[in-house]
Structure 1
Amino acid sequence: MKIATLVVDDEPIARHAVVRLLREDPDIVLGGEYGDGASAAQAIREQSPDLVFLDIQMPAMTGMDVVATIGAARMPATVFVTAYEQYAVRAFEANAVDYLVKPFSRDRFAETLRRAKARLGPGGVSGAAAGSIQQVLDALRRREGYLDRVPVRIDERVTFVDVDDIVWIKANRNIVEIHLAERVHEVRETMTSLAERLDPRHFARVHRSAIINVRRVQSIHPWFNGHHVVTMDTGQKLRMSRYQQEAFMRLVSTRS
């Protein structure tokens, strides 16, 4: 069984160590090595590898951002690589996701690769289940705090949107539409998952399919049957569910 594999790490020494060990295994077909998250996300989309060794702590676009860009359900079998963060290690262990702590020994690497092969082989689970990967990422995000930027795909590249520039967010099945003043970006993530990563002091869910940036609200007007209409500073009007009004009004009053 040949296993198409990518290696992603911004530290050349660590990346080359993984590559060197992989090249000793005749089952591994190395598809490339990458030093940044944006290049890695593009390579995963284009090559659809079987396995990826993915560094968590990278500048600009982290390993978590790569997964968010691809979508946990679409990720290949993944071995997360981390420096020493024990919180991260506990999250990996709790969800049975393969990981390596840098610096790692040859024996530890061999054991990790053996487990990855077992997942990919006949009767195994193809990669860590998407739910397990998502649970790990959720745990790490809670540790990190709220988002400052959201990675979005534009043509063949990944860029970042400052959360302050978001006017509102619309749910569309397993995709969210991020509405800015002059354009809309689609991100493969559920509304619930994204909402958990946004600062609740600045973002409010006014409807089951809409989240707004409270700082971009221009006015609120009563509608009918207990509903209200929220007008954003772009002129966009959004209906607010009556079940969300109390929480939203509380947010607005704290900003007065």
Structure 2
Amino acid sequence: MTHYSAILIDDEIHCNESLELLLAECFPQVVVAAKFSTPGEALSWLKNNRPDLVFLDIEMPGMNGFELLGRLGPSLRFDVIFVTAYDQYAIKAFQYSAINYLLKPVDQQELRTTLLRWSERTEKVLSTKQLDLMYELLKQSAREKKRIALPTHDGLEFIEIQQIIRCESDSNYTRIHSFNGERHLICRTLKEVEKVLGESGFLRVHHSHLVNPSYVQKLIRTDGGSIVMVDDTEIPFSKGKKDRMYELISRAEKI
């Protein structure tokens, strides 16, 4: 069994203590090497040591979690899971940039699921591109988001949201089909993808399909109804989704 070293950084000591207990119970492969209640001490330690994973609180006195990462320079040598009670816009920024996060109070099953996914990844270092995208999204706040990071087994793919034609469920994974013909298999369920892309207008027309209405090529009303996407894929409607799709299609100019 592969073991990973981790450090915990949170100004609330009891949060570090409870997280350490949860790790020992649900994911003993992650071994806590150190715990810090002040970001300054953690920064000094990180300059001389290299853990595999850092559990990092965001709001801390003197230096928040983002500032701590900034002081370590552009090339981080570890991955990060933010542990936070942050607002909805920050959560969306984490989701779009594929940065791992846990909400306080930390749920044991959420912790285990997050770590299982993390352990399956080939690349286990937080990338500069991820951080840049996250900072960009935090600045945008509630404004329209244009890019998304797709977490693949061997790293990340950064693509324009409007390049995505459709998303297809594949068990606990999702296949992303892009307009340029590229396909990406990501380790996220379709339900999780829907939470992110739903606010960009994507519609779940079937339990296995999430589509970008901009790429619907044809509407078929026979046999229960279906749509044909620009990549010639025909997708049937689920019950309850037909009216919503007809509503979207009806906005198009007719001749």
Please report the TM-score for the alignment, with normalisation by the length of structure 1. 0.51
Q: Compare 209-218 and 238-247 and name the one that shifted more.
A: 238-247
| CA contact 2:216–2:229 (8 Å) conserved in 1 | yes
Tell me, in whole angstroms, the C-alpha distance in 2 between the residues paired with 1:188 and 1:39: 25
| CA contact 1:220–1:230 (8 Å) conserved in 2 | yes
Tell me, in whole angstroms, the C-alpha distance in 2 between the residues paired with 1:6 and 1:241: 46
Q: Compare 192-201 and 171-180 and name the one that shifted more.
A: 192-201
Q: Is 1:30 the equivalent of 2:71?
A: no
Paired residue type of 1:30: P
How far residue 236 of structure 1 moved from its aligned partner, in angstroms, is 1.9
Q: Partner of 1:121 in structure 2? A: none
Gaps of 5+ in 2: 10-37, 55-68, 87-92, 115-136
Instruction: Pick the aligned partner of 2:173 from 172, 175, 183.
Output: 175
- Could you say what secondary structure the match of 1:219 adopts? strand
| CA contact 1:228–1:242 (8 Å) conserved in 2 | no
Q: Partner of 1:5 in structure 2? A: 6
- Could you say what secondary structure the match of 1:223 adopts? coil
Tell me, in whole angstroms, the C-alpha distance in 1 between the residues paired with 2:52 and 2:238: 49
The 1:188–1:144 alpha-carbon spacing in structure 2 relative to 1, beyond 3 Å, is farther
Q: Is 1:148 the equivalent of 2:169?
A: no
Q: Is 1:96 the equivalent of 2:105?
A: yes
- Could you say what secondary structure the match of 2:197 adopts? coil
How far residue 192 of structure 1 moved from its aligned partner, in angstroms, is 1.8
Paired residue type of 1:252: I
| CA contact 2:6–2:53 (8 Å) conserved in 1 | yes
Q: Partner of 2:193 in structure 1? A: 194
How far residue 3 of structure 1 moved from its aligned partner, in angstroms, is 7.2
The 1:155–1:207 alpha-carbon spacing in structure 2 relative to 1, beyond 3 Å, is closer
Instruction: Pick the aligned partner of 1:20 from 15, 27, 44.
Output: 44
| CA contact 2:167–2:209 (8 Å) conserved in 1 | yes
Q: Partner of 1:250 in structure 2? A: 247
Q: Partner of 2:125 in structure 1? A: none
Tell me, in whole angstroms, the C-alpha distance in 2 between the residues paired with 1:240 and 1:53: 38
Residues 55-94 of structure 1: matches in 2 within 5 Å?
A: 63-64=94-95, 68=98, 92=103
- Could you say what secondary structure the match of 1:235 adopts? coil
Q: Share of identical aligned residues, percent?
A: 17
Q: Partner of 1:231 in structure 2? A: 228
Note the aligned Cα RMSD (angstroms).
4.7
The 1:145–1:171 alpha-carbon spacing in structure 2 relative to 1, beyond 3 Å, is farther
How far residue 129 of structure 1 moved from its aligned partner, in angstroms, is 5.6
Paired residue type of 1:230: I
How far residue 162 of structure 1 moved from its aligned partner, in angstroms, is 1.3
Q: How many residues align?
A: 176
Q: Partner of 1:118 in structure 2? A: none
Paired residue type of 1:243: G
How far residue 207 of structure 1 moved from its aligned partner, in angstroms, is 0.7
Paired residue type of 2:241: Q
| CA contact 2:152–2:187 (8 Å) conserved in 1 | no
- Could you say what secondary structure the match of 2:232 adopts? coil
| CA contact 1:150–1:163 (8 Å) conserved in 2 | yes
Q: Partner of 1:220 in structure 2? A: 219
Tell me, in whole angstroms, the C-alpha distance in 2 between the residues paired with 1:63 and 1:145: 15
| CA contact 2:169–2:190 (8 Å) conserved in 1 | yes
For residues 162-212 of structure 1, the C-alpha deviation after alignment (integer angstroms, 9 at most, x for no partner) is 111111111122211111131211122222222122245731111111011
| CA contact 1:228–1:239 (8 Å) conserved in 2 | yes
Paired residue type of 2:237: M
